[in-house]
Amino acid sequence: TGVLHDVSGRPTGFVTQFVDITEARAAREQLHFLATHDPLTGLLDRRELERHLSDVMTKLPSATATTSTVCVLFIDLDGLKPLNDTYGHARGDQVLTLVAQQVAHVPALDVVARYGGDEFVAVAQVASTAQAVEIADTIGQVVNEPLSIDGGEIEVSLSIGVALAAPGESPASVLRRADAAMYQAKAQGRSQAVVAEQPPTLA
């Protein structure tokens, strides 16, 4: 901003300059999105999921008698490799994207991320194991109907491992327990949810 003067030196007006930073701001936001989200599904990526989980778990009370706790759901899309072999990887990517969108719209979930390959991780606040199982059942139900892709229908299912964070437990530990429970679900026939055993109370 600058002041204009007449020949006698008296101020007669001013000149100001405005810079439109809308495009620059949009570019920064786009770069941040690309750095924190999976490019295929648009979900959070693994690093951001782990950061979020660490944040919410550090806020958990240390006492065992709490009204709610963090629930981690490790979700695997059953049979993606045969699907890719049969229909091609482009079709497999479409299935992954559709499943991601369906899971992300489950209301009870705070965060959904693509953890890698055909695996997703969701985080929710729950008051009981029963509520966690109910959420897992809802996630499983969102893909019960065949997916309509390119005029055809593809049937998919989900194997889900459920782990409730214990007081004092680390994010890495609860993720490992949810992951192990997911593999147990796959070993037991897939298309189901298994709840991980709670670890001993931590100091």
Q: Are 124 and 112 in contact, with CB atoms under 8 Å apart?
A: no
How many residues are recorded in the chain? 203
Catalytic machinery residues: 118
